[in-house]
Amino acid sequence: MSYRSYKKKAEEILRKTGVEINGVKPWDIQVHNENLYRRILAQGSLGLGESYMDGWWDCERLDQFFYKILSAGLENMISLSLIADLIRARILNLQKKSRAFQIGERHYDTGNDLYQLMLDRRMNYSCGYWENASNLDEAQEAKLDLICRKIGLKPGQRVLDIGCGWGGFVIYAAEKYDAGAVGITVSREQVSLAEKLSSGLNVEIRFQDYRDLNEPFDQVVSVGMIEHVGYKNYRRFMETVHRCLDGNGLFLLQTIGSNKSDINTDPWIAKYIFPNSMLPSCAQLSRAAEGLFVMEDWHNFSADYDKTLMAWHGNFERNRQEIKQNYSERFYRMWRYYLLSCAGAFRSRKVQLWQIVYSKRGVAGGYRYLR
């Protein structure tokens, strides 16, 4: 096939999305290399992302581009190279203990300077709660407070955060609720900065895999970490929380969620952003928790992740010149693509954001859900 034939095929696929090649709308793509069409049709989403990183095409509003193509159901048509990944995910446990620290090394250790320029003042790298918030700092504070209220955190209690990041939740719990807090992470860079940020507080930060936990806590939370656990390990994750949680305590799980039970993730995301990751479905989480927990509350506020990602992207762009002192142009394009493609995915409702509250034996008289 000639490049004209590949281009014609690409135009046919895009026609129902409202996206045009070299059009004038901000979500239209501007093509700089005519080999793009062949690359995308051959390599799917991996080729789409890598060709953007290579400067083969541009788009003013990548978030709207992805919103449009995902809303039109093209995610399968641009993911043509998934067979090998599916087989690999079936055969291997990509998230086994010996691989647990890879995500820390490859993503969260990218550079504390980058995350400090992009995130809110408390360094939360998960969805904020925008119900009554007007900016990113307010949305993240509201999320942290909502978590504390949902688990009924009280002064003097001991709370565990599985996947604590730079300590946003554990520091908030210690400062605002006078709780003792333990946070674990698989990122050495996160440990280093979180220890500095939590200095003087009743907070302990550990470089530790969740499977090594075996001690009692009054309450347990995990925010944006189970996406790295993998479907073969969901049950063990839930058993670990069950083992550590007090009988009258609550477990709050915040996670990005999939509308269907997949066993792998997008090839580009897996290669460049979140290796060994996958999004759980409602069914997968329910099966993992069955017989261990009572599901007390399931709260979906997915649209808030679109706002959060756009706020991160705003910070990223405002600090572009400072970021580019330490990171290459290709990294800049990769990170922009990551943030805006994810915003488009949440906007199209192809992925969700859930806060789930579990108890070990049911809250007496019923759980009072909070929003």
Quick check: 253 pLDDT over 90? yes
Note whether 113 and 62 are same-domain residues.
no
* Boundary-marking domain end, from 56, 81, 106: 81
Which stretch of DSSP H or E encloses residue 351?
A: strand 351-359
Q: What is the mean pLDDT of residues 343-352?
A: 96
Catalytic residue among 127, 148, 164, 342: 342
Q: What is the pLDDT of residues 261-310, one digit of tens each?
A: 988 788 899 999 998 899 999 999 999 999 999 999 999 999 999 999 99
Whether residue 364 lies inside any domain: the answer is no
Distances (CA, A) of 276 to 111, 135, 227: 20, 32, 9
Please calculate the CA angle 157-291-101 and round it to the nearest 5 degrees. Answer: 65
Looking at the predicted structure, is the pLDDT value of residue 85 above 60?
A: no
- Give the pLDDT of residue 98: 54
Question: What pLDDT score does 74 carry?
Answer: 79
Does residue 86 lie within any of the structural domains? no
Tell me what the mean pLDDT of segment 73-83 comes to.
55
Do 151 and 216 lie in one domain? The reply is yes
What type of residue is 86? L
At 95-126, the pLDDT tens digits run 556 555 677 777 888 999 999 999 999 999 99
Kindly state whether residue 368 falls inside one of the protein's structural domains: no
Residue 36 inside a domain? The answer is: yes
Please indicate, yes or no, whether residues 72 and 189 belong to a single structural domain of this protein. Answer: no
59 is catalytic: no
Say which range, 51-55, 76-80, 162-166, has the weakest mean pLDDT: 76-80
Report how far residue 38's alpha carbon sits from residue 60's, in angstroms, rounded to the nearest whole number.
Answer: 22
The pLDDT of residue 86 is above 60: no
Domain count across the chain? 2
**What pLDDT is stored for residue 97 in this prediction?**
60
314 domain-assigned: yes
Same-domain pairing of 45 and 167: no
- In this prediction, residue 352 carries a pLDDT of 97
Share of the chain above pLDDT 90, in %: 81
pLDDT at res. 345: 95
Answer yes or no: do 53 and 101 share one domain: no
Is the same domain home to 141 and 208?
Answer: yes
Q: Is residue 88 part of a domain?
A: no
Do 53 and 176 belong together in one domain? no
- Give domain status of residue 209, yes or no: yes
Whether 117 and 162 map to the same domain: the answer is yes
CATH number at residue 233: 3.40.50.150
- The predicted structure's pLDDT at residue 82: 43
What is the domain extent for residue 213? 95-335+346-359
Q: How many CA atoms lie within 13 A of 181 on its CB side?
A: 33
Shared-domain flag, residues 172 and 56: no
Report, in angstroms and rounded to the nearest whole number, the Rg of the chain calculated over CA atoms.
21
- pLDDT band, very low/low/confident/very high, at 78 (cuts 50, 70, 90): very low
pLDDT of residue 1: 60
What are the residue ranges of helices labelled H in 206-328? Answer: 234-244, 267-272, 282-289, 303-318, 320-323
**What average pLDDT does the chain have?**
92
Residue 102 is predicted with a pLDDT of 76
